[in-house]
Amino acid sequence: MRTFESWARWLAFACVLATPWRGTAATLAGLAGSRADARLQGLVDAAVAEAGSRAGTNRIGADQIAVTLVDLAEPAAPKWAAHRGGEAIYPASVVKLFYLVAAHRWMEDGRLAETDEATRALRDMIVDSSNDATHHVVDLLTDTTSGPELAPDALAAWHARRNAVNRYFGSLGYAGINCNKKPWCEGPYGREVQAIRAFEPKRNLLTTDATARLMAEIALDRAVTPARCARMRGLLSRDISAPATPEDQVHGFVGSALRPGMKLWSKAGWTSQTRHDAALVELPGGRRVVLVVFTENHANDEGAIPRVARTVLERL
């Protein structure tokens, strides 16, 4: 049985993960070989300025948006730039990207059985952004379930298991993130609420830097194995020519800024207060870029992220 001190160490670790990380001039959030680029920074700055130049409620303040751009033209030395890239922000459904990678890591290592139900849940979590599917995936990854309240010692043990995904990404140098909550439509209840009240941080958190790193590693076949990265890209692939639907993750996001001949892999997220997208875009000549945009307090502005994406992609 773990001692109180060991639980305290796990809590301290979770708090470190939730501390915003500003990155360095050398690498993007630990992305191997990456380096900051002045030209890309100019594109990001122009996109943020354009978002701030809008009139009325469509104006997005510089403190309401975070952007990270990665150019993968040189796979061994990706170039990047960011605006508020190290700010820890509630990610909505973008966190499902981290659960997807963790699940493939677990399966590759033999820690998680690759059953038909697990495969179906991963598909529904990413393709349809199903919260119910995500609940199943989180349970599989962390050996936990939702349910009635627990006694304090049992809750501490439950919470320690819930931090399995945090521990994995922390071991890889990811910082400023927290990935231990289920996304809810009408919940949470029971032990889920207990844990929110008892432990910090109280919500999932991601930075656009960390999210861009993960998307870049999926694109570059570094996230797990090349075969598993290809399978993940298969789930993330979006049809930019398909008709708009209320939940399609293309229209109102980066996909709305793409022209024919471009390709898109993405994971969007939105709530009543946030609108986010994490996208891998292939341009007609084959050049690939990762663009991650998080916006706060502009959830109903379906043109916000497309405007940012269009500013960046047209100038590329």
Confidence of residue 15 (pLDDT cuts 50, 70, 90): very low
Backbone angles phi, psi at 295, to 5 degrees: -125, 145
Give the total residue count for the chain: 316
* Six token digits for residue 167: 């521990």
Contact indicator for 96, 125 with CB cutoff of 8 Å: yes
**Predicted pLDDT of residue 29:** 86
Residue 36 has pLDDT above 60, yes or no: yes
Separation between Cα atoms, residue 51 and residue 49, nearest integer Å: 5
Alpha helix segments (H runs only) across 85-207: 96-108, 116-127, 131-142, 152-162, 164-171, 191-198
Single-letter code of the amino acid located at 258: L
Fold of the 4-315 domain: Beta-lactamase (3.40.710)
Task: Supply the mean pLDDT for the chain.
Answer: 92
Residue 25 has pLDDT above 80, yes or no: no
Q: According to the 3-state scheme, what is the secondary structure of 33-92?
A: CCEECHHHHHHHHHHHHHHHCCCHHHCCCHHHEEEEEEECCCCCCCEEEEECCCCCECCH
**Predicted pLDDT of residue 13:** 38
Residue percentage of the chain with pLDDT more than 70:
92
3-class SS of residue 238: strand
Confidence of residue 26 (pLDDT cuts 50, 70, 90): low
Q: Which residue has the tokens 């309401």?
A: 64
Mean pLDDT value of segment 132-138: 98
pLDDT tens digit string along 246-299? 889 999 999 999 999 999 999 999 999 999 999 999 999 999 999 999 999 999
Between 24-28, 69-73, 78-82, 252-256, the lowest mean confidence (pLDDT) is in 24-28
- pTM, two decimals, is 0.91
